[in-house]
Amino acid sequence: MPFVSANGIRLSYQRSGQGEPVLLVMGSGAAGRVWTMHQTPALNRAGYETIVFDNRGIAPSSTPPGDYSLADMTADTLGLIEALDVGPCRIVGTSMGAMIAQELALVRPDLVRCAVLMATKARSDATRRMLLAAERELRADGIALPPRYEAVRTVLEMLSPTTLNDDATVSGWLELFELTTGQSAPGQHAVDTVGDRREALRGLGVPCRAISFSDDLICPPHLVAEVADAIPDCDYVEIPGCGHLGNLENPDAVNTAIIEFLDKH
C-alpha cells in the first residue's frame, strides 16, 4: 500500500478502477480494505475510481497514543484529498466515517461534490450515550472481555436478526470477531462524544444521501433520519433486514443505493 502524509499523520491508501474519484471512509475499528469486499468492485464496475484508506489508529497508518477527536479525523481526510489532488470528490462514509464526511462537507465544501452517509448520526440518544459511557469505563479500568464473549456481544450489536437466526452464516461472523478481538483502535472511540450536531448540519450545502439499516442498534434509523432532516439537500433511504454492518450484510441493496445517488451528482 502507498502512503501519504496528511495532517502530520501517515495514512495508507489504495486506489482502484478508472473514472471520477469516490473516497470511502471507514467506521471505527475497521480497516479501509473492508470496503473492497463489496463496495469498491461495484463502484469500479459502475465507472468510478475508488480510494480507500486506513484511518489513524489502524495500522499500517499512524497509530498515535491517546484519544482522537472528530476534528483530527476530519483533518486527516482533508489532507488525504489534498495530497492526492482528487477534490472535489464524491464521498461515501459509514458510521464514524459518515460523521467525518459530514464534518468535511461543513468545513471544506469545495472538496466534496456529494456525500453518502451510511449508519450516521448527529447526536447520541440516551441508550447510545449509556453504551458509550459503559464502554469508556471498561477501557479506563483496563478490563478486557474474553474473546468469545466479546465476539458474541459484537455480533448481537452489529448484525440483524436475519443473520443471527441463520446458524451457518452467524457461525462465520462469530469466528471472525473472536479472531479479531482487541483490534478496535481505542483512540477512535472518543469521536462518538461530539454532542449534538443537528444545528450545524443545517448549514451543510452539498447534496447528501443518508442511508439507515432497519435493525441497526448502534445508529438506529431514527437517528439517521435526524441527519437527513437537518441537512437541506439530503434524501433518506432505509434498507431492511440488516444491522450496523449493512454494507456487508446486504451489499447489493447498499451498492444500488450508493451508485444511484452518485450517478445523479
CA angle 157, 160, 165 (to 5 degrees): 110
Residue 135 reports pLDDT greater than 90: no
Domains annotated on the chain, with CATH: 3-144+182-264 (3.40.50.1820)
pTM, rounded to two decimals: 0.94
Q: How far apart are CA 153 and CA 147, in angstroms?
A: 10
Active site residue 222: no
Which position among 54, 72, 215, 216 bears the catalytic label? 216
With both helix axes pointing from N to C terminus, report the angle between 96-107 and 70-84 in degrees, rounded to the nearest 10: 70
- What is the dihedral angle through the alpha carbons of 77, 82, 85, 90, rounded to the nearest 10 degrees? 40
Sequence-distant (6+) residues with CB within 8 A of 124 are: 132, 192, 223
Model pLDDT, residue 193: 63
Active site residue 214: no
Model pLDDT, residue 183: 57
Which position among 12, 61, 95, 212 bears the catalytic label? 95
Q: What is the tens place of the pLDDT at every residue in 189-232?
A: 767 767 899 999 999 999 999 999 999 999 999 999 999 999 99
Active site residue 95: yes
